[in-house]
A = this chain, B = another copy of it.
Amino acid sequence: MIKVGVVGGTGYTGVELLRLLAMHPDVELQVITSRSEKGTCVSDMFPNLRGHVDQKFSDPDVKTLSQCDLVFFATPNGVAMRMVPELLSHGVKIIDLAADFRLKSAEEWEHWYGVPHACPELLSEAVYGLPEFFRDEIKGASLVANPGCYPTSVQLGYAPLIKNGLIDAANLIADCKSGVSGAGRNSSVVNLLAECSESVKAYAVAGHRHKPEITQGLNTVSEGVSLVFVPHLMPMIRGIHSTLYATLLDSGSGSGSDLQTIFEQHYENEPFVDVMPQGAHPETRSVKGSNMCRIAIHRPNNGNTVVILSVIDNLLKGAAGQAIQNMNIVFGLGETKGLESIAILP
């Protein structure tokens, strides 16, 4: 049994992580911390966990956490980086669901997150936990930076085309739609049901923190990636739908069925990427509650522009599910363990 601690269990990635950990056969949940909710029963805050998680939230304490084999951080950005070095020194493995270790450049991190990085020396050591890109590196990792939700869906959608040199990587357009759980469980007016239900809007068109993460990731596949990234808020709880546009470099080379084959081959051994049949339109609900990413590829009118549709559950493959997948890889378990749940439909 892997002894697991969770730091910051009061948000949506936190409760989803606890749900998955409670159902995982090889995990023993040791400690769940929350500075603000110390002493509260976890299942009083999240009644879905009644009968499954009977701990109380405790103060985050390095000594207690050091007795875990693995600590997940489901904290706001900037928290993990202040505790991780000491935990690593005690031999604890770390999976950070926040953004603290996603970017390789401390300068870029400071630019986007507004404070200096607390342990820039760890940025190169941290492995970016997108298994479809870095499975081998994750295997031996002590510190895994779990990817963001948008970046997961966008990188998985573009990767086969970029890897095969088929598109102009310098002119990518990612139009992404997310449910509001992506904004977190924070008291705020803008995410009230009465504000964001029955409405759609774009946000952060001028710049979003997930853009450098996407660019950095895709640049490991091929150089020169440049992206226009426009996130939108959807009137729903869960799900991301990324609509990805790219220009084919050689319009004669790739027919629609060729592209389909390239995707199918690229992902044929991936347990959590499902290339849909040609012409399909994946719905976000087809992955609700599951760790799958479903992708379809289109080439309208056989023109120069390819359109890739990529859907995930932002709290599973976009957060807690991928974190479990990374845990499974780090500890040499079957990669799908504890992640076999089928998406709930309707």
Contact = CB atoms under 8 A, between A and B. Distances in A.
B195 A346 contact: yes
A290 B309 CA distance: 30
Interface in A158-187: 173, 175, 177, 179-181, 183, 185-187
A341 B344 CA distance: 11
Nearest to A280: B47
Interface string A265-295: 0000000001010010111111111100010
Contacts of A285: 48, 198-199
A139 interface: no
Interface in A298-346: 298, 300-301, 303, 305, 307, 309, 311, 340-346
Q: How many copies of this chain are found per oligomer?
A: 4
Contact of A19 (B230, B281, B307, B344): B344
A294 to B, nearest CB: 7
A45 to B, nearest CB: 10
* Contact residues on A (Cβ < 8 Å of other chain), bracket: 35 or more
B198 A19 contact: no
A1 interface: no
Given A192-B191, A235-B234, A342-B22, A241 B201 contact: yes
Contact of A198 (B238, B294, B307): B238
B12 A346 contact: yes
A193 interface: yes
A194 B237 contact: yes
B236 A199 contact: yes
B283 A228 contact: no
A23 B340 contact: yes
A203 B342 contact: no
Contact of A200 (B22, B228, B241, B290): B241
Contacts of A286: 47-48, 50
Contact of A181 (B199, B243, B346): B346
Contacts of A202: 241, 243, 281, 307, 309
Interface centre among A238, A300, A305, A307, by most chain B C-beta atoms within 10 angstroms, is: A300
